[in-house]
Each structure stands twice: as C-alpha cells, then as structure tokens.
Chains A and B, each alone.
Chain A
Amino acid sequence: MISTEEVKNIASLSRIHLKDAEAGILSQDLEKILDYINKLEQLELSGIDPTTHVLPLKNVFRKDAVIPSLKQEQALSFSIEQKDGAFKVPKIIE
C-alpha cells in the first residue's frame, strides 16, 4: 500500500534524509500502522463535526502592550553560528 518511493517522498516533505535501508524498514512500519489506523473506515462519520479543541475556549487575546525583547546577545546565545548580529546559515540561492 505504501511504497518505498512514497516513503521517500514523505521523507523529503519532512526534510529527513533517508538511507535506503531505513526507507525499507519505515515503509513496512508505516504500512502496518496505517493498516491498523484504517479500522476507522468501519465508522460512519457523516454529520460528525471534527474536534480540534477539547475545551470550548474562544477569544483568548493579549493587550497590545510591549514586553521588553531579549537583548541581541541573549537572542544569539543559543545560536549555532552567528555573524554581524544575525543567525548564520549556509548560502541560500533564490
């Protein structure tokens, strides 16, 4: 049902580099899990609303009031690489 090729596509969408061996294992695993999940097909779901939040909360806001930001060195304190006050990443080509 779920091919190694499909697994590689999902991996690419998930930004995970998969080695061929892993792709094989994962395709078997996912197949098994999806097979199990497919038991939901037994249910008649027309007219059932989806639940995205279990609590009936709504309209939770904050006031438009400033809270001091981190200092630049705090913001960069956990950075992997930094340069000129910015987070440094490999060159991006547009």
Chain B
Amino acid sequence: MNDHQKQFETVIGLEVHVQLDTQTKIFCGCPNVFGKAPNTQTCPVCLGLPGTLPVLNQQVLLHAIKIGLALNCNINTFIKFDRKNYYYPDLPKGYQISQFDYPIAQNGHLDIPIKGEEVKRIRINRAHIEEDAGKLIHDDAGNCSLVDYNRTGTPLIEIVTEADLRSPQEAYDYLQLLKLTLKYLYVSDCDMEKGSLRCDANISIREKGETQLGTKTELKNLNSFKAVKAGLEFESERQKQVVLAGNRVIQETRLWDENKGITFAMRSKEGSHDYRYFPEPDLVPFTVEEKTIQEIKEAMPELPSEKQKRLISQYQISKYDANILIQDKDIALFFEQCAELCPHTKKICNWLNGQLLQELNTRKNTFRDIDLKPQALTDIILNTENGIISNLAAKDIFKLILDTPQSVAALIEKKGLAQVSDDAELTKLADEIIEQNTKAANEFQQGKQNALGFLIGQAMRKTQGKANPKLIGDIIKRRLIDAQ
C-alpha cells in the first residue's frame, strides 16, 4: 500500500492533576491558598525540614471519595500512602507522598457526549491522592532558579484514564466534562490558568485496525484547554510524519511551546526513572467504611449529565440549550427558578444562553458576581411576550438591571419604554409615514413586499422604537391596501 494512503488512528490517555479545595494543605496546617508572596505559606512540615512528620487532612480523603464516586469508580476500603522517590528542587523531601498500589479509587468511567444522542465511555484507570510540589521560577537574568514552596503540600488528586481517547477533540471534551463534574462537586475550581487543573497526555499513533499500541510520547506543559487540543493535534501530526518518513517514534517527554505552536523534547533527560516506591512509614493506613461511602453518595449533587437529561425532559428544552445551561451549575439553577415563574422555557434559555453569557463575557464576570433575580428576567420575558416592550427595549432593560438591580415595571415606566399599541395612535402614525414616504408606499402597492419593511423601520425610528412593530406593520399594510 502506498504510504500516503495509510490511515492512522491517534491513541491518547490523560493524566489530570487537580488541586483540591481545602482550608489547609494535605499534611500540615498551612493555608491552601494561591497567589501569595513566595514562601509565606510554609511551615517546617511542608518545607520538608528534617524531623517533621505528615498528618493527613481528613477533608482531603472525603473530597477524594466524592471524586471517585462521581467518576463511577470503586472506592478502595483499604488505602495507604507510598513514597515516590526522586530528586528535584521543588520537592523538598526528595520524595513525594503519593499512592502506589492502594489508591483511593479505581476502575471508573466518564461518558463524554459525541454526535447526536450518543456518548462515548472513557474508562478511568485510577484516581489517587498525592501532594503537590513547589514552584520553580527560572531567573534567566540572574542565571539561577528560584524555589517557592507555597504550593508544596497542596492536596492533589491525580486522575488517570485508560488510553481510550481517539482524537485531540475527544481529549478536549473529556477534560471539559471532567472539569464540569469536579466543579459540580465543589472540590476544586479547576482553573488551568492558576494551575489548579493540570493535564499531561500520553499520545501514540497506529495504523487503523492495528491492535498493538504504538510508541508513546508524554506531552507536558499543556497549560490551557486550548493548548491540550493544539498540542495533541501537533504531536499526532508530528508522529505521523515521523512514521511516514520511515522512522520510529522515540519514547520521550515533550513540552508544548504555546508561542511557536510546536512540541519539543525535554533537554534534561534524567535517565530512566526508578521511583523506588515503598510504603510511607510516617503515615498509617486508612480504611474507608461502607457507611462513609453511603453518606457521601447520598449527599452527592446531581451531576452534569444527569442534570442535562432532567432539564430536557422536565422543561422540554433542546439538548443544545440544556448542554449550555449545565456548563454553569449556578446558571442551570437560575434557569429552573425562572421556569417556576414563567412558562416560556425556550425564551428563558435564549436569554440565558445568549444575552446573559454575552454580558458576562464583556463584563468579565461569573454568574456569581452579578445580582440577577429570576423575577427580573421573567418580567422582561413576559413583558416582551405580551407586546408591552420591544425586543430591543428588552435588551436595554436587561443591561440596566445587570448594572443596578431594580424593578422591571418601574424601569419601563421611568424610561418610557412601553410600546405604543393603541390602534388610533398607530393609525395616525401609519398615515404620517405613508405620506412622508410615497415612493416606498407606491412600491409596496406595486407588489414589492420589501418596501413594507422599510416603512416599518421608518415608523420605529420616528417613535424611537416604541411602536409595536407587528401592529404598525399590519396597520400600514391595511392602509395601503385600503387606499388602492
């Protein structure tokens, strides 16, 4: 077969590190906060000073169980911690406390949406608890590197998929759903920019139909969702070119260069890794009672895919709309509050998924930052539906309400935004418009339907948008036909 006819398949597995949202670090009482001055959130324990010992933060285990359950994993009832030994300046003890053979959760899955009604099951191999390392800052001018240990000991959960992802897009979709799921659990803010969600990828290619895995490369420095997709796309293509050129893919760690849009092999090869895992003697084992698992299960919030299904059936909205709504748990809740007050669920979706997201985007706000009452939005919708205000006016009112929360009715009154729907008044207006635009009026009478739109536009302009566009259109039409 000609090389160029070869069909390749990309095989991807993701390792995602998620920082857990707790008050304190995993093994000491230092605050678990981001963005403080270097080395101000440390203590002898997280600095790894000789003689210090770790004690597990109970909240970390509870969060981890919650995550494991949300990812449909088996929760191991016996867990322990192990030391992963390696040298790096951001790792003050010379080992990372992690979990090797008894992780908290194993054998789960996440179903990601693909085209139509279908989902694809991505198997989760395991999720384990570990501690984060510090941060290295490369000071090129000073020809040195600087270590900030604030991040050291931040609780992490590492979620490892099977090599089930078959394209960069699937990897992207998986990550999005994973992030959403974790946000629903309130266990992490999953902000890739802040590093609270980090993703490494194992990627290989193989000819379609081949069952053996190809040689993989490990991709790092994927610092945004966009970078994950772009980096994987580049790497997949690069590997194809390597194979097509008759060469072999080398197993190595490669870094994504966001600016250049390429991946490159890491320079500092540390030789073959031998992490010499062994049971952490400074921590005792842990058992998870069935009762604890049940309690957490019962307190588990509705997860995104469940919510999506329910919204569709309960409110008769489209899958598309429901999918946008669930992207923000707070907006989805707001939708349901609005739907209590107003039957126009499609209209509510349109407002939330259109105008609201646009406004949040321009204001660089999250839904939590603004003060929007369900009643305000449903008042706007009902006033529009009843023809009291025009769509244009409705949009103005919406913006004003986001600026300053206030009564919709009062605002319509104050700004005089109510539409003119009075028949006599509109008839008078129609006659004025026809008289002032005889050319267009004639054209309509000669069968040019477009001319009516022009006349309506003129009426709207004259009344500064207050004329009810449907009514004025009807009246102009009637007057012109009557006049013939």
Contacts and interface: CB of A to CB of B under 8 A. Distances in A.
Interface in A69-94: 69-72, 75-76, 83-94
A64 B39 contact: no
Nearest to B255: A94
A92 B89 contact: yes
A1 interface: no
Contacts, number: 128
Contact of B30 (A67, A71, A76, A91): A67
Contacts of A53: 281, 284-285
B38 A59 contact: no
A61 interface: yes
Nearest to B58: A61
The contact size tier of chain B is 35 or more
Contacts of A75: 39-40, 42, 47, 149
Given A13-B274, A64-B57, A83-B139, A72 B29 contact: no
B40, B136, B148 — most chain A CB neighbours (10 Å): B40
A60 B81 CA distance: 12
Contacts of B281: 52-53
Contacts of A64: 22-24, 57-60
Nearest to B47: A75
A35 to B, nearest CB: 22
B266 interface: yes
A57 interface: yes
A91 B143 contact: yes
Contacts of A39: none
Contacts of B266: 94
B31 interface: yes
A19 interface: no
A45 interface: no
B303 interface: no
A36 to B, nearest CB: 22
Nearest to B221: A94
Nearest to B283: A60
Contacts of B136: 92
B115 interface: no
B56 interface: yes
B42 A65 contact: no
Interface string A30-73: 00000000000000000000001101011111111111011110
A17 interface: no
Contacts of A63: 57-58
A65 B38 contact: no
Contacts of A57: 284
B42 to A, nearest CB: 5
16 contacts: A13-B274, A64-B24, A64-B58, A67-B24, A75-B40, A75-B47, A83-B139, A83-B142, A83-B144, A84-B38, A86-B147, A87-B89, A87-B146, A88-B144, A90-B145, A93-B268
Interface of A: 12-13, 15, 52-53, 55, 57-67, 69-72, 75-76, 83-94
Q: 8 closest A-B pairs (Cβ-Cβ)?
A: A67-B29, A86-B146, A64-B59, A61-B58, A87-B147, A85-B38, A52-B279, A57-B284
